Structure 1
Amino acid sequence: MICFLFFIARGHAEHRSFTIPDGPYDLLYDQGPLVTGVVTDENGEPLPGATVRIKGTSAGTVTDFDGVYELSLPETGEDYILQFSFIGYISREIALEGKTEVDISLETDVKALDEVVVVGYGTQRKGELTSSIASLKSDDFVQAPVRSPLQLLQGKVAGLAVGTPSGDPNAGAQIMLRGASTLEGNSQPLIIIDGIPGGNLSTVAPEDIESIDVLKDGSAAAIYGTRGTNGVIIITTRSGKGKEENRLTVDYHGYMSYEEVSRRIPVFSASEYRGLMDDPQIGNTLDDKGYSTDWWDEISRKPVNQVHTLLVNGGNGKSGYTASVSYRSRDGVIKNSDQERLTSRLSLNHSAADGLVKFNFNINNTQSKGRSIWEDVYRYSLLWNPTDRVMDEEGNYTEYPHSLNPVQQLLEETDENKWSEMLLNGKITIEPLTGLRLGILGGFQRNSNHRGKYANKKHYTNTQNGRNGNAEQWTNLHIDKTLEITADYNDQWGDHSLALLGGYGYYTSVSEGFSAMNYNFPTDAFSYNNIGVGKALQEGLAGMSSYKNSSTLISFFGRVNYSYKNRFMFMASLRQEGSSKFGADNKWGLFPSFSGAWRISEESFLRDSEVIDDLKIRLGYGVTGTMPNDPYLSLYRFAYGGFMYSGGEWIQGVGPYSNPNPNLKWETKRELNAGIDFTLWNSRLSGSLDLYQRNTSDLLYTYNVPVPPNLVSTIYANVGKIRNRGIELVLNVSPVSTEHFHWQLSGNVSYNENELTKLSNETYERDFLETGSTGAPIQKTTHLVREGHPLGDFYGWVSQGVDENGNWIIKKANEDGAETDADREVIGNGVPKMFAGLTSTMTFRQFDFTVGLRGAFMYQILNHFRMKHETFSYAYWNHPKTILDKPYGGDYYLQDVPKYVSYYIEDGDYVKLDNVSLGYTFRLKEDSTFIKRLRVYLSGLNLHTFTGYTGVDPEVNFNGLAPGVSPSLMYPTTSTYTLGLQLGF
């Protein structure tokens, strides 16, 4: 396909005329003198398809196959300037000055290779990279109203999966890089915001981000030691850049968005439900209440949301500043679910002592509040009988056994959340000698959260255990402090260049929280804000808890980069790190890495190639780690328990809670990565190919131990091993590039397979893990984890049909025996093995048009909703329409009680029309003193999903040990349509 597009473009380039702004022109004019010439590259080779244009006019042409052009001037006697351009080359202008023949040579545009990429503790030219690093600038981001900055990367980075399985305004995004590498540790990549590790994405407005760089392989991430196993995502926000003219610029970006449910589970309307009663097989299982209610219409709305961002930038040659404020308001498609967020940021830069000392200061602050709904609301809107009513004549909600009317759930329960996040950092850089730079960075991050829930006195008493009003509150506070001291030295001599980095880091983290619960309130007037007046407190039945923990991390790190003639490049890094989370015998760890690259295109046998512009091969190896989440797992811990009456008083008991493990340490990942970067055919085609293997050992998990000699029956230990292997391909194609029309295609595809190669050792043994849960009424685990198999295996019964009584026919190991747990088999896997993304960007004069597709393949989904509700055994429920699909093409409807069988394991493969954007940038006068930029656009997000999956959305959870389950407790995903405005002053 790529070659096909290239030859189309080549053929187009050889055509001797084209359409220019005011219409089609014949390129050979009779009225003026003829100018001819040849356009070549720096090696003297002709450039076919190069554009030759007369500056300030609409006249132009393109070169033929031999690089020759002919162009008639509009008039005689004018001093014209010719403009020469070709994709992948630096444009040039030549004044005619009466000449009628102009030959010109264009130099290769190495801008792509000179592009600056942010790496650990510094930057590098893209052409000098020896590791697998993906870099996206703001122009590359998904153009849509995203909830999380991670969504800006959806479908853009090979090997990086970003999922949004919920449409809840308060839900975030999930992420996985190069497969699952842990059983119980942290699976999220390390987030670094403006140099501060462990940053909270809530502190950054997506419109404030300048670039995002993803360190994918071990050699790139090893500089971050015990936090780099799952990759590193570095976010750089817009910073103040001083200008000599001391000019102030103001940019505004605002948009309004409309949301609707992208896909609903089809259930029966009231008339359709009544129509089923004529079927002799199922008519007696239905109950006509005599009314008609659209329950989805009762709980839903069609929200219009808004985002407004104002950014101010200014300064002079020594000082610069950037200030921004962003307001986001988003209502969910289900009533009483929403979020408001206000983000403000200030960045200051100052240079003193003739540039020898530089200061940088940043502060980000975010205030958010949101309301959530009970997670069963959407499910019950699908299940509630469509022939029933919301309320009776007395104003009482209709009720079913042990379940709530969905409208009742919305109106009788309040769930409110408030967040406050602040990120503050400052850096001082001193350059005492040429090439030597000393820096000290300090960071402070504070995240606090308050959540309150209240179910009023009318709330359905059966589900609240007879509680007459129920209130709950939670508060949490997390503080991170960072101190980093670095020194780096850069030098060049002859064909050699050298960069050295050394540093020290000190990081502390403190978390604390409090929660309280009470019920039986005298009034609903206080909601959760007067929690002490509930009677349960007086009766000793209220609940209360609190916690506080802390951890410290100390690091020493260094790196060396060497390059010879920009042809041979080498990088090595080493980090020694100590953490208070580890056992007494393993407080410190060493994390080395190395990588090298060879730019083959600089060798004599390829230097004059007409096809290859740039070709580089890479090889890297790195060791990284993963820390446990709990800071005290290595210690002997006690916990307070129940009370006993002794000596006339009640005494609270205390006993051992966890066994100590002085050998507890980090999970260790060793990753080997081989890659190739290429640019071909005058930058028409570029891309990269990476192959990797990552072996993660010393996996953290809980193991059973004997009592005695242990005091507790379980211990947290490093035992298991996981292997991930994969391949990633990135392609960028320019099929067409003319003076007014440009078309760019960017695509990526990644394939990953993992295997749990070890789960036990001579000390700690586990044959397998059963994880996940179907929930009531089935009450079975859903997944099996065992050696020699990938993570994410579904483990259940194989169904083969339905008998004449409507019961499942199950494949059994012993056909004469009863159905048992021993009959279960692996019936699918919930982790996609392949992800892909494709972005098409077209520009025509002032118009820009972008289409983004992404997909996931080779995985299965447990359709939880169908499994629990695709049965006629519940007379008072509505049903999904798929209940009429007689299983396996048989003759009987399903009448059996819900069971976890292979019939509900569906292929999840999908392709999403994820993002479409059409924009127009107005052409403004060059001497405009007020408006400098004006752009309007329309965009759509998550517009359509091509899939065979019958549930709400095939984009389900892919993390953890029970992936691929589409839960019945869900919030539907949405499609978003946006009208936006961008202004620059």
Structure 2
Amino acid sequence: MKLKRNKFSAVNSVMRIIFLLMCFCLPWANGLLAKENNISFIASVLKDRIITGTVKGPDGVGIPGAGVIVKGTNVSVITDNNGKFSIKVVDNNAVLVVTTIGFKPQEVIVGNSQILNINLQESSNELKEVTINVGYGTQKKVTSVGAQSSISTKDLTQSPVANISNSLAGRLPGLFAVQASGEPGADNSQIFIRGVSTFTGSTSPLVLVDGIQVDNFNSIDPNEIEGVTILKDASTTAVYGVRGANGVILVTTKRGKIGTPTINYTFENAFNSFTATPEKMGSFDFANSFNQALKNDAYVSNSTYTPRYSDSDLAKYKSGEDPVFFPNIDWYDLMVKDVSQQRRHNLSVRGGTDKVKYAISAGLFNQEGLFDDAGVKADYDPQIRYGRYNFRSNLDYTISKRFRAALDLSSIIENRSGNNANTNSIMNFLNGAAPNLSPGVVDGKIVLFEGFGSPLTTLYSVGYKNDVRNLINGSLRLDHDLDFITKGLTSHALIAYQNSNRKLSEYSRVFVTYRAIKNPDGTIDYRQLADNQPFNYNPTDPERNRRITGEFAIDYKRTFNSHTVSGLLLYNQIKSTNRDFAYLVPNSYQSYVSRLDYDYKGRYLAQISASYYGTENFAPSERFGFFPAYSIGWVPSEEKFFPKGELINFLKIRGSYGEVGNDQLSANFLRDPNSRFLYRDPAFTRRGPYTVDGSYRFGVFGQNLASYEALREGSASSPNLTWERVIKTNIGVDLVGLNNKLTVTLDAFNTTTDNILAVPRTVSALTGIGAAAENLGKMTNKGFEVEMGFRNNIRDFNYFIKGNYSFARNKIIFQDELPQTFAYAQRTGNIAGQNFGFIAEGFFNTWEETNDQNRPQYTFRDGNRIQPGDVRYRDVNGDGLINNDDSVPIGYSSTVPEIIFGLSVGGSWRGLDFSALFQGASHFSVPYTRRANQAFFDGDPSAAASYLSESWTQERYEQGLPISFPRFGVGNGARGFNNYLGSTLWIANAEYLRLKNVEIGYTLKPSLLSKVGLKTTRIYLNANNLITWSHMLKGIDPEAANLTSINGNFEAYGLVRTVNLGINVNF
């Protein structure tokens, strides 16, 4: 009986309950809290009439996204892309209030008019109306003195990706999001803000959703998000103390608005395919090349050349006459689909009254992998599948004149199912399998040759798994106006609870395979190699995580004539529990936060902020750290002498200086016993039973020996260890010009990280215990950012162009390392993650060159055995030897690029809109190793076919043809080893430019929609990772090659290109 894959029956039940709750909440929220003097529903139906109109700017062009509300009621609508709207009013005395950012609000009496044309006037400065998120609050952008960047939900939802981090790439200056895999459910991007400022510990930024720290940032439905802000300098991150050292990402979800319910539904159907697939050879070319590789190796090893494939074998491969015993399998064609499918649904409702506002959202996302069943007859599906259910409810209550409450609830359920193999193992075998390795699939059977496997066995032979994760978040915030004490004083209290669980179920067995046997009469039998076995159920212990956050704050803001003063005092405490934490002890943080802002006429600005942060990781005397920050700003455009006009509308100069901290010795310090409680006395760690690294074994030698667990002394303690200090300096300029059409932001920054937590490398292993961690490192990180945007219109055509460019270069000032013979071999003084290797200077082309007694002598595993076609290396120190003393810095870092940039363009004309985003990176390198540069790694054809065609041969040399690579050989053993040393030959320039996103959409005319009860409908087509330009070998995506351990080994599930069709309906 064929097993059915999990259909999330429990999850479907949850979704039904959620839907019923939504249906129940809407009429309750509006009906129960409606004002007593509101007109009843029946009466309104009898009297209501429809008013249509257009909201335009001074240039006569329609303004999209303007809010139109019937004054004194909850009835409201939003204008479409052409500025048009349609709204119900009760009588001729109704007043419409029209508002939008950048324009002055306007009230219009309806009267007897059926069609209204409303012309708005621009406000003096759009910045004055823009509010941005900062740590524990909000500020007006015009008076903000920090370095931050923001994007809205419109930008996020243009990318048809599975998670949020992948949609941020190229959109924000200073933020680099790199994706190492496109595997469903495991395709998150790693995020860096302003590069890297430490060579130990975590480099990931802190992420908060509606003020609450989260670990599931990538699992949030993009449709739930209102906007994302990144905080980059000390003035914005110091309030987060130890958690803000690597920058902060603030995610704000959508909240309710006063007005009639707005129901929004989005459906997307997308198709995925790999962005890059390696070139492969057919069996005939492979066999010829393999023979040539053996011949090449025979020279240097002084062995007799014996071809593996005879002329008869080559003829059969070429003719294809015997596909079973002389197969020609394209494993990618057999095992990888051209496209896979993904779907997204989201239904949301927003609305409210002056008493309660609500925003409720439910989403469903499904994505399948690109593995094909290859025609194998199996009773289970090995395909990778990922499903996610999202639910969020944000409710805001006005309890009384002074009391308000916000109750936020969210739930995420994820299910990842498919084959039980490690995906990298499948891709490794798939990319390295020879086309003649096995016959592949015959009549639904996996057929093997004796002594050889198949990528199909990796896909099928280990069974399948079902991985279910669920997360529940809840928070309650109470706000209290204390203006009875003094005007402008408020307080709030918040408590948040997060609970996540994971259940992994694995079902394993040996999959039945067959061996082909040719009978004397030429017929073929297929011998079954194993009996069918039932599945073995391998349950794992459930994972449970819990985090509780408590917060209390007092805020103050008041204006005295021309002086505006605001302040914040806040207490925050976080406790996290996880059974995987080292020593099974919960993790806790405690902080006291303060901030004081001053603003004189919007002209002179100042801010002082600080946090007093406590960690469990240091001794009591060092447990708390004080992290202050200072910032000032000057707005010359508000000075009387400033010639403000059409050219420059607004100009602000700002600067900041401050400190943040770090208490983490490693990125995974909570689960690492050697990275938690570093001040503790020397610990003893239970180890064993040992079979490799030296446990005690007793018995008679040569007979059964019993292994016994042993105790060994752990790492030494560090009672004086203290905070890693990160000092940040930032200078910035904000400019708005050309009648508010041009925006420019410039920032220059300098970060110095001192007292870096690290384990000394100069302590001898003969001590018998691990060295104690110390404050012994220092590093700098300097750079600048530019962001520019321009918006304009030509009659009905609106267009924009926006770009950002960031540069960040770090330098290790000091780290504890063993002394090197030559200064250039030191890691100190270089960038973090700097590649080291030899300088390749072409190839040996003749025996005369290899036998030259004056050439440097090679001292590696091959010794001095050199032949024509081998790599020639530079003797850097001139000692006549090629050895490790000749290894020097080459290329750039493989950790994070120094340069990142993005360019977005778009426009709209009547109902049609389009946009495109180009994203790229430069100044980083990726070393080719193993399968990426060794043509027959482990005897399989791994490197790209272009490598073989451009490799050194005597014929190519004599004909003067271009030669890019050394002669190729077989295997990764002694033969040809010298050619694969890390060198400038194998360090790839990994810079790239990618058409990251492109979208075209059309919004239907309101006149067509009002007849069927719809407000707006938009149909759109978009694509992600559409085209990539790079220097990498074919088959390697430059982004996937970065930040991974594969270093171009073809051993990971590739990134995917997504083409998506969607529809968005408002009613």
Bin for the TM-score computed over the shorter chain: 0.7 to 0.9
Matched, 1:51 2:88: no
Alignment partner, residue 146 of structure 1: 161
Deviations 1:745-803 (A, max 9, x none): 1100011111001113xxxx65589xxxxxxxxxxxxx987211111211223333344
Output aligned runs, 1:460-859, within 5 Å: 473=540, 475-513=542-580, 548-628=584-664, 629-630=669-670, 631-636=676-681, 637-642=683-688, 652-704=709-761, 712-734=769-791, 736-760=792-816, 766-767=818-819, 786-803=827-844, 804-813=867-876, 819-829=882-892, 830=894, 831-859=896-924
> Contact 1:792–1:963 (CA<8 Å) still a contact in 2?
no
CA contact (8 A) 2:103 2:120 kept: no
Distance of 1:86 and 1:361 partners within structure 2: 28
- Which segments of 5 or more consecutive residues in structure 1 lack a partner in the other structure? 1-48, 56-84, 96-103, 462-467, 515-545, 770-782
Superposition pairs for residues 916-935 of structure 1, below 5 Å?
916-925=998-1007, 930-935=1013-1018
- Tell whether the 8 Å contact from 1:385 to 1:878 is kept in structure 2 after alignment: no
Displacement of 1:635? 2.0
C-alpha contact 1:785 1:792 (8 A) present in aligned 2: no
Determine if the alignment matches structure 1 residue 375 to structure 2 residue 383.
Answer: no
Name the structure 2 match of 1:412.
461
**SS state of the match for residue 748, structure 1?**
strand
3-state SS of paired residue (1:139): helix
Report the secondary structure of 2:145's partner residue: coil
Aligned partner of residue 714 in structure 2, secondary structure: strand
Q: 8 Å contact 1:935–1:981 — kept in the other structure? A: yes
Partners of 2:440 and 2:1066 in 1: how far apart? 51
Shift of residue 155, structure 1, vs aligned partner: 0.7
**Residues of 2 paired with 1:394 and 1:728: CA distance?**
57
Matched, 1:296 2:332: yes
Q: What's the counterpart of residue 983 of structure 2?
A: 901
Structure 2 match to 1:99? none
Specify the alignment match of 1:429 in structure 2.
479
Which of the numbers 492, 504, 507 marks the counterpart of 1:439? 492
Can you list the C-alpha shifts for 1:315-354, whole angstroms capped at 9, x where unaligned? 3220122221111100122242221111111111110122
Is 1:945 aligned to residue 1028 of structure 2? yes
1:199 positional shift: 4.4
- 1 CA distance for matches of 2:1065 and 2:206? 34
SS at match of 1:375: helix
**Conservation of the 8 A alpha-carbon contact between 2:935 and 2:948:** yes
Unaligned runs of 5+ in 2: 1-56, 64-98, 110-118, 297-305, 318-324, 373-382, 515-532, 671-675, 690-695, 700-705, 845-866, 953-961, 970-975
Q: Describe the superposition over 1:431-488 as per-residue Cα deviations: whole angstroms up to 9, x where unpaired.
A: 0213111100111112222334555335999xxxxxx999584643221110000010
Q: Are the aligned partners of 2:102 and 2:129 in contact in 1 as well (CA < 8 Å)?
A: no
SS of the aligned residue for 2:551 comes to strand
Quote how far apart the aligned CAs of 1:94 are: 12
Cα contact 1:202–1:366 (8 A) shared by 2? no
Mapped to 2, the partners of 1:589 and 1:54 lie a distance apart of 54
Alpha-carbon distance change, 709 to 430 in structure 1, aligned in 2, over 3 angstroms = farther
Structure 1 residue 674, shift from structure 2 partner? 0.1
Equivalent pair of 1:142/1:153 in contact (CA under 8 Å): no
Q: Can you list the C-alpha shifts for 1:52-98, whole angstroms capped at 9, x where unaligned?
A: 5899xxxxxxxxxxxxxxxxxxxxxxxxxxxxx99976699999xxx
Aligned 8 A contact 1:142 1:154 in 2: no
| 1:165 maps onto 2:239 in alignment | no
The equivalent residue for 1:255 is: 268
> Partners in 2 of 1:306 and 1:874 — Cα distance?
41
In the aligned structure 1, how far is the partner of 2:640 from the partner of 2:592?
A: 42
SS at match of 1:230: coil
* Equivalent position SS for 1:901: coil
Matched, 1:969 2:1019: no
Amino acid at match of 1:792: G
The answer to whether structure 1 residue 886 and structure 2 residue 932 are counterparts is: no
Which of 280, 294, 298 matches 1:267? 280
The CA distance in 2 between the partners of 1:890 and 1:922, in whole Å, is: 55
2:395 is the counterpart of 1:348:
yes
Report how far residue 656 of structure 1 moved. Answer: 2.2
* Residue 587 of structure 1, CA deviation: 0.2
- Find the partner of 2:356 among 319, 323, 327: 319
Number of residue pairs the alignment of both structures matches = 841
Q: Do 1:705 and 1:715's aligned partners in 2 also have CA atoms closer than 8 Å?
A: no
Mapped to 1, the partners of 2:943 and 2:730 lie a distance apart of 53
TM-score, normalised with respect to structure 2:
0.73
Residues 268 and 881 of structure 1 are in contact (CA less than 8 Å); yes or no, is this contact kept in structure 2?
no
Cα distance between partner residues in 1 of 2:796 and 2:149: 29
Q: Is the 8 A contact 2:445 2:513 kept in 1?
A: no
Q: Give the stretch that moved more between structures: 182-191 or 973-982.
A: 182-191
Query: Counterpart of 1:376 in 2: which secondary structure?
Result: helix
Q: Deviations over 1:782-830 (max 9, x none)?
A: x987211111211223333344454333334577866432232222222
Aligned-pair CA distance for 1:131 = 0.7
2:262 & 2:215 partners in 1: Cα distance? 28
Shift of 1:177: 0.7
Q: Deviations over 1:591-619 (max 9, x none)?
A: 00011110111112224433110000000
Measured after TM superposition, the shift of residue 885 of structure 1 is 1.0
Cα separation, 1, equivalents of 2:497 and 2:995: 40
Cross-structure match for 1:36: none
Alignment partner of 1:983 is 2:983: no
Contact 2:101 2:126 in 1 (8 A): no
User: Secondary structure at 1:225's aligned position in 2?
Assistant: helix
1:214 is displaced (CA, Å) by 0.7
- Equivalent position to 2:249, from 212, 230, 233: 233
For the 8 Å contact 2:367–2:387, the answer to whether it is kept is yes
**Structure 1 919/691 Cα, relative in aligned 2: closer, same or farther at 3 Å?**
same
Q: CA, structure 1 residues 380+603, in 2 after alignment: closer, same or farther (shift >3 Å)? A: same
Q: Secondary structure at the match of 1:219?
A: helix
SS in 1 for 2:128: helix
Instruction: Specify the alignment match of 1:955 in structure 2.
Output: 1039
Q: Give the Cα–Cα distance (whole angstroms) in 1 for the partners of residues 924 and 164 of structure 2.
A: 26
Change (3 A) 1:91 1:316: closer
